[in-house]
Amino acid sequence: MTGRILVVDDVLANVRLLETRLQAEYFDVRTALNGEDALEIVRRERVDLVLLDVMMPGITGFDVCRILKQQAETAHIPVIMVTALDSAGDKVTGLQCGADDFLSKPVSEIELLTRVRSLVRLKSVTDELNLRAAAMQSVGVDPREIFTGTQLKGARILVIDDREASIRHLRKGLGRKVEAEFVTTGPEALEAVEKGTYDLFIVSLSLAGTDGLRLCSQIKAVDHLRHIPVLIVIDPDENAKLRRALEFGVNDYIVRPLDEAELRARVTTQLRRKRYTDRLRSMVTNAVELAITDPLTGLHNRRYLDTHLKSLLERSAEAGKPVSVLLFDVDFFKSVNDRYGHDAGDDVLREFSARLKKGVRGIDLAARFGGEEFVVVMPDTDLELASPIAERLRREVEASPFVTGSGLSLPITVSVGLACLEGKNESAESILKRADMALYEAKSAGRNRVVQAAA
């Protein structure tokens, strides 16, 4: 993981020290000696993270952070404040300005690289979200809210710790904005993660009778928990355990004695990352659904049908199993549009799609073929089984009139062409063509009937 880091400090020696450390890890480093230059660099070029000194002449680090986080174009850039100030009040001020993390001078190398890598990974996710910002706005989602909205409120956190002092600090630091559940042993933790849904795990590495590292690895190994961040609580002398934990995917750590302001900062950072990744994953899923779904009926579209049918026929031919294809056409649909309007026609298509979906099995694929034509693909089904199903669906359409949104009650019928897989070499185009020819025969014979394709 690499990225472009902006180091901002009014002391040149501090800048050079951080620059050398980061370049040794193959980060691309930019530097600035004051807040004004830092803001100009961020406006001018892509920056993946800002390491920002607090005490600078002119614009302070707090001011720079506040400006970056208030502007939609830069709000998603992670900011680590590097400070010689140790009071909780200073960290709270930094949090209020929007800082993502803190490092205290002199900066520990392991802390520096851990924090930087963690937040650069976070930035790579937000960059992907930015690319989709226009699409998000089109469906009523403001991308700025994703980057700057509240992260703590409503989050569910599982805390695994058995030290009373730690638990007190954790309860106070997390506050009432989150739903925090506390357990004290490894078995209790594993039982909880199987039953509950969480946004963050906080795990003490020094649990009595439990290997904290092994517990973290067990959590990370479960598929549905893989994307949930883990924040570990360590003692000052547990550097070896810390390195091992970071190697297999633990997201962040905090050192005892716990500082409540630092705890809130680290928890907020991890919840922000999870929120970004959850939203990105949801957007990708939605984009895939939109690409394969007919927007009017909610059924799969022709694109998905072509891909699905091709692969299904190949598998079925190899296994020697039958596949049947039913091609439906809504009878006299053009007259519905011409007489009652396209809104009524759309209502008819939606209602037919709902009846079709309800009338087929879970393993069957119902798709809109185009216009008023629909396809049902039935795996493991020969003509002997498919024909009565097609006839049942036809009768159900005829039996109940279709009621439109304006209250019209319209008698609707459908014609059906039916074809079954013939031989190992039959293509999707071939079986659909034969079903279409059977459909043409049904329409020519007077409509409202099922016709099987000739063998």
Q: 313 pLDDT band (50/70/90 cuts)? A: very high
pLDDT value at residue 305 = 93
Q: Which residues are CB-neighbours of 425 under 8 A, at least 6 positions away?
A: 317
Q: Helix 260-292 vs helix 88-97: angle between axes, to the nearest 10 degrees?
A: 20
d(CA 16, CA 31): 9
pLDDT value at residue 21 = 94
Question: Where in the chain do CATH 3.40.50.2300 domains reside?
Answer: 1-123, 150-287
- Asked if the model's pLDDT at residue 245 lies above 60, the reply is yes
In this structure, whether the domain defined by 1-123 belongs to CATH 3.40.50.2000 is answered with: no
pLDDT value at residue 439 = 97
Lowest mean pLDDT among 126-130, 315-319, 365-369: 126-130
CATH topology of domain 150-287: Rossmann fold (3.40.50)
The residue that leads in pLDDT, 130 or 82, is: 82
Q: Are 93 and 62 in contact (CB under 8 A)?
A: yes
Question: Where in the chain do CATH 3.30.70.270 domains reside?
Answer: 302-452
Segment 426-433 shows an average pLDDT of 93
Mean pLDDT of all residues belonging to the chain:
87
Q: Are 452 and 387 in contact (CB under 8 A)?
A: yes
CATH annotation of 302-452: 3.30.70.270
Tell me the percentage of the chain whose pLDDT exceeds 70.
90
- The answer to whether the predicted template modeling score (pTM) of the entire model surpasses 0.85 is no
- Asked if the model's pLDDT at residue 145 lies above 60, the reply is no
Q: 455 pLDDT band (50/70/90 cuts)? A: low
DSSP string, 179-199: EEEEE-SHHHHHHHHHH---S
- In single-letter form, the type of residue at position 132 comes to R
81-106 tens-digit pLDDT? 988 766 666 766 777 788 888 888 88
d(CA 14, CA 51): 11
pLDDT value at residue 397 = 96
5-64 tens-digit pLDDT? 999 999 999 999 999 999 999 999 999 999 999 999 999 999 999 999 988 988 999 999
DSSP string, 39-70: HHHHHHS--SEEEEES--SSS-HHHHHHHHHH
Secondary-structure percent of the chain, ordered helix, strand, coil, rounded to 5: 50, 20, 30
148-170 tens-digit pLDDT? 555 567 889 999 999 998 999 99
- CB count, 10 Å around CB of 284? 12
| Angle at alpha carbon of residue 72, lines to 70 and 75, rounded to 5° | 60
pLDDT value at residue 225 = 87
Q: Are 379 and 400 in contact (CB under 8 A)?
A: no
DSSP string, 358-394: HHS-TTSEEEEEETTEEEEEEET--HHHHHHHHHHHH
Catalytic (active-site) positions:
372
